Amino acid sequence: MSVEGATLHEVVTTAKATLELAGVPSPGVDAVELAAFILDVAPGEVQRRMVLRAPITEDAAITYAALIHERARRVPLQHLTGRAYFRGLTLAVGPGVFIPRPETEVVAGWAIDAARDSDSPRPIVVDLCTGSGAIALAIADEVPHAEVHAIELSEHAHAWAAQNVERLGLPVNLVLGDAITSFGELWASVDVVVSNPPYIPTGQVPIDPEVAEHDPRVALFGGSADGLSIPRLVAARAATLLRPGGVLVMEHADSQGESLPRALAQSGNWVDIEDRLDLNGRPRATVARRGHDQQGD
């Protein structure tokens, strides 16, 4: 299709067909989002202009076509726009950091609920394996009276998280380091620990090219055949950080809805262990309370 004299409706419709042919899971949404990015408007405005058959400049159409080509190669949408949306926040993301998923917004919500329900006037919340900082920043945004700490092992991911903390101006104490040895100064004083740790079983290859080829491996694989080696270690650290009765919220793969709760039960550190479903009805996170016996995993 010639871009000279083309309408926005024409180029976005063609882009949607291209992405659909390439197997992109949400071709229409991505086509509109990339158009919104190029035109520096909201997606709703793109749709309005499409209905009106508004024109698009030749330069914008050429730039848009180049982005659609990259998306058709399964480069993540968020790498092309440099942004990801998470519970009302717009985060800076790109190569080197795990892109926050919509299902993790529900996990963040459970941590937010736990912080709000805490009896502490200033609940202490810790996000282990924070990645882009998505969960920690959402908590700081939605529970402004909380004291929020976050840690990330990867220098690349930490740099993205630091950028997000600075740009959003939310009070998160962000640390570069290992989650399983973190925040010793907070021993037995934390009200909520939340974590989206690496949990993919080591022998499992992600299906989506966006994940397999672009998400950092350190953020994906759980270190064992069942994917739970790293989550167990993170949970063990959470047990030392939480006060008795404090809440752990840990995301997991949909195949780990029984195995992670069982591993937590076997450790002897946790009570009121509950596995919760996401909005698609899939096992998504285990929520548990720290017991009163100070045992180690």
Q: Could you tell me the residue ranges of all domains in the chain? A: 8-73, 83-290
pLDDT averaged over the chain?
A: 93
Q: How do residues 40-84 score in pLDDT, each as one tens digit?
A: 999 999 999 999 999 999 999 999 999 999 999 999 999 999 999
The CA distances from residue 125 to 44, 225, 231, in Å, are 36, 30, 18
CATH architecture of 83-290: 3-Layer(aba) Sandwich (3.40)
Q: Which two tokens stand for residue 7?
A: 């309408």
Region 142-161 average pLDDT: 97
pLDDT-derived band of residue 4, with 50, 70 and 90 as boundaries? low
Q: Would you give the DSSP letter of residue 124?
A: E
Q: What is the pLDDT of residues 153-207, one digit of tens each?
A: 999 999 999 999 999 999 999 999 999 999 999 999 999 999 999 998 887 878 7
pLDDT tier at 293, thresholds 50, 70, 90: low
User: What pLDDT was estimated at residue 297?
Assistant: 42
152 is in an annotated binding site: yes
Strands (E), 121-279: 124-128, 147-152, 172-176, 190-195, 242-251, 270-277
Residue 199 marked as a ligand binder? yes
DSSP assigned state of 98: P
Which amino acid is present at 139? I
**How many CA atoms within 13 Å lie on the side-chain side of 231?**
32
> Is pLDDT at 1 greater than 90 in this prediction?
no
